[in-house]
Amino acid sequence: MKRRHLVRGILAGLLVVATVIGAMELHRRQVEDVEVAIGGPFSMLAHDGTRVTQDDLTGRRSLVFFGFTYCPDICPTTLVQVASWLQAMEGKGDLIDAYFVTVDPERDSPERMAEYVSYFSDRITGLVGTVDELRQMADSYRLYYARIDLEDGNYTMDHTAAIYLMDGDGTFFDAITMTASFDEAVAKLTRLVEDG
């Protein structure tokens, strides 16, 4: 009797281990997948009311990153960084179009984005989509975003923080992560202009 329980216990344990290993493997594959295919179709409203699509990336060099205006810490930090990188590149920076895409279309209107991004730089364009348009761009850019409700009735957004560099064909060239130094970021952007 006891032995049967033991065998059952061991089998259950093995099943748990197998499930965990399977889930980890699946996650690993998904993460690898993210690294190979970033970019693709999107259509969004720029903060000046014009429409920006994947076609607008062609023949330009682009920098695409995501956030939201009610973000008090990481988003403004990133916007200030992007603005300072573009400024440091001087003339070369003019070849790069920088897009700040909101993951919070519920609260971020084009007007609000205009006021927000202009505070940081005149070189950054805010993009706003409908819920469906954001979903499409998120699929193309392998973007993760999720609404997290707070106790006080407000909410915050979790989101992918990487800054994507897109080449003259509108395809993925490189990414700048949160931990990159100023010099590393400017070096990557310089490479984007020269080789992208």
Partner 1 sequence: MTVAGQLALALVLLMTRVMAEDSHVIGIEQHWVAEPPPGVHVTAAYGVITCRCVATDRLVSVAVGGAVMSELHATTSGGDGIVAMRRIDDGIDIRPGTPLVLEPGGLHIMIMGLGERPRAGDRIPATLVFEEAGAVDVVFPVAARPAAGMEE
When asked if residue 116 is in the footprint of partner 1 (CB under 8 A), the reply is yes
Determine, following the binding rule CB under 8 A, whether residue 77 of this chain makes contact with partner 1: yes
| 63 touches partner 1 (CB under 8 A) | no
Report the alpha-carbon distance of residue 16 to residue 23 in Å, rounded. 11
Q: Is 159 in the site for partner 1 (CB under 8 A)?
A: yes
Considering the rule CB under 8 A, would residue 25 count as an interface residue with partner 1? no
Look at the block and give the residue holding tokens 């990414």.
Answer: 175
Out of 14, 21, 37, 178, the residue judged to bind partner 1 by CB under 8 A:
178
26 binds partner 1 (CB under 8 A): no
* Contact flag: residue 182 with partner 1 (CB under 8 A): yes
DSSP secondary structure letter of residue 70: T
**C-beta separation of 172 from 38 below 8 A:** yes
Beta bridge partners of 65: 100
Q: How far is Cα of residue 113 from the mean position of the Cα atoms in its chain?
A: 17
Contact by Cβ (8 Å): 128, 45: yes
Q: Which residue number, 77 or 130, has a Cβ lying nearer to partner 1?
A: 77
Report the candidate in 67, 182, 177 with the shortest Cα–Cα distance to residue 113: 67
* Total residues in contact with partner 1, by rule CB under 8 A: 36
Q: Which of 40, 43, 60, 112 binds partner 1 (CB under 8 A)?
A: 112
Which of 32, 73, 122, 149 binds partner 1 (CB under 8 A)? It is: 73
Nearer to partner 1 among residue 56 and residue 189 (C-beta): 189
Would you say 141 and 129 are in contact if contact means Cβ atoms under 8 Å apart?
no
Question: Which run of H or of E encompasses 182?
Answer: helix 182-195
Positions in the binding site for partner 1 (CB under 8 A)? 31, 69-74, 76-78, 80-81, 83-84, 87, 112, 115-116, 119-120, 144, 148, 150-152, 154, 156, 158-162, 177-178, 181-182
